[in-house]
Amino acid sequence: MFAKDFSYAAPASLAEALALLQSQPEGEVKLVAGGQSLIPLLKLRMTEIGALVDVSKIPELHGITDDGDGVVIGAATTYFQAVNSPLVQKRCPLVIQAVSQVGDPQVRARGTIGGSLAHADPAGDLPAVALAVDAELRATGPSGSRSIPATAFFVDLMTTALQPAEVLTAVRFHATDAPHAGTAYVKHRHPASGYAIVGVAAAVWLNDDGTCRAAHVGITGAGTHATRAAGVEQALTGKRLDDATLTAACANAADGLDLMSDPYASGEYRAHLTRVLAKRALAQAAATAAQR
Ligand SMILES: Cc1cc2nc3c(=O)[nH]c(=O)nc-3n(C[C@H](O)[C@H](O)[C@H](O)COP(=O)(O)OP(=O)(O)OC[C@H]3O[C@@H](n4cnc5c(N)ncnc54)[C@H](O)[C@@H]3O)c2cc1C
């Protein structure tokens, strides 16, 4: 199918993009970056739009920088650019672990870090990562710039805390290359698209004696939006992350999730996958942390 006609603009600056967003009535204009999620929706006529503003060439939305405790990735950075960045490879291995499992090479060549997070697909991989490493999402709108913690960003099905006239400019991922820190991303892929039926991102920080200082668990695919498994995290703090402890804690990994169900995977199956994959991701993250 073909999309309905729309106008197209590719601004050269963030200020120009913001002006274009405000020049149209709300709901009539949308940003596009890699187009990997939005263009299929337009072509299937699941959404209609009067104007597209392409942010992929805006310099302020590019660049990967080290800011001490974290790595800041411009929103229009493609998956391909992120996964090939030595800085991201060294300091944010969880981003690499997840991004290398996104879709296929074509999707990773065009899809962007910011587009994925702004789209907030319930089966997207990066939202779980953003939650597990306490990412900070930076947005600029008509009334200035602000920073949104990942825990407040994913609100509901494909709904984020971004306002319609705001542009996501960058994402700051907390670095996890410190001693005694480890991460892992584990997912059960849909065989056709590669999207997560369930995906779990885990980050673990150990004390010198090998007990768990902190564990963060981000879950995607199971519910309507990515969430942290707070109950699992609390159950692990201060404990040795052995098999029995992980099994007991992860038995509650699906508690409180607004489970989705479809012809491929029932809610019950998604709950089962959540428990199994949470344990696998935490075990892998703990093993890495123990070696550092
Ligand atoms: C075949 C296929 C397989 C896929 N498999 C996976 C997978 O396994 N895992 C996965 O996570 N994803 C998968 N995807 C989705 C892919 O990751 C998308 O690229 C990503 O979800 C959106 O990034 P984009 O840059 O293409 O965004 P676009 O499609 O351009 O935009 C998506 C949404 O984000 C908004 N947006 C974009 N940039 C900004 C910005 N800077 N500020 C504010 N809003 C913005 C747009 O307005 C739009 O609403 C797949 C896609 C395809 C086509």
What's the 3-state SS for 181-245?
A: EEEEEEEEECCCCCCEEEEEEEEEEECCCCEEEEEEEEEECCECCCEECHHHHHHHCCCECCHHH
Q: Tell me which residue of 172, 149, 169, 209 sits closest to 60, measured CA to CA.
A: 169
Considering only CA atoms, which residue is closest to atom 6 of ligand 1? 103
- Is 274 in contact with 222 (CB distance < 8 Å)? yes
Strand order in the sheet with 227-228: 181-189, 196-206, 212-220, 227-228
205 Cα: distance to centroid of ligand 1 (angstroms): 31
Whether pTM > 0.95 for this model: the answer is yes
pLDDT digits (tens, 9 = 90+) for 226-248: 999 999 999 999 999 999 999 99
How far, in Å, from the CA of 37 to the mean position of ligand 1?
4
Tell me what the mean pLDDT of segment 67-78 comes to.
Answer: 97
To test the ligand 1 pocket, which listed residue (38, 55, 140) has its Cβ within 8 A of the most ligand atoms? 38
DSSP-assigned letters across all residues of 2-65: -PPP-EEE--SSHHHHHHHHHTS-TTSEEEESS-TTHHHHHHTTSS--SEEEE-TT-GGG--EE
Percent share of the chain, pLDDT over 90? 96
**Can you say whether the dihedral through the CA atoms of 99, 261, 33, 227 is positive or negative?**
negative
d(CA 85, CA 157): 31
Among 29, 37, 78, which is best to mutate for testing ligand 1, by the most ligand atoms less than 8 A from CB?
37
The yes-or-no verdict on residue 27 having pLDDT over 90 is no
Pairing of strands 70-74, 64-66: antiparallel
Structural tokens at position 203: 């980050």
The C-alpha atoms of residue 218 and residue 226 are separated, in whole angstroms, by: 7
Q: Which of 66, 292, 97 is nearest to 202 (CA)?
A: 97
Cα–ligand 1 centroid distance for 75 (angstroms): 11
Indicate the pLDDT class of residue 82, thresholds 50, 70 and 90: very high
pLDDT band of residue 14 (cuts 50, 70, 90) is very high
Q: What atom in ligand 1 is closest to the CA of residue 38?
A: 29
pLDDT-derived band at 223, boundaries 50, 70, 90: very high
Q: Which atom of ligand 1 is nearest to the CA of 189?
A: 8
Q: Which residues line ligand 1 (CB under 6 A)?
A: 30-38, 40, 55, 75, 102-103, 107, 111-112, 114-116, 118-119, 121, 124-126, 162, 167-168, 193-195
pLDDT score recorded for residue 7: 95
Q: Which of 29, 30, 32 to mutate to test the pocket of ligand 1 (most atoms within 8 A of CB)?
A: 32
Q: Give 26's pLDDT tier (boundaries 50, 70, 90).
A: confident
- For tokens 């996890």, the residue is 176
Could you give the domains of the chain?
7-54 (3.30.43.10), 59-174 (3.30.465.10), 181-291 (3.30.390.50)
DSSP H helices, 55-104, are 79-83, 86-91, 93-99
Q: At what angle do helices 243-250 and 267-291 cross, to 10 degrees?
A: 150
pLDDT attached to residue 1:
79
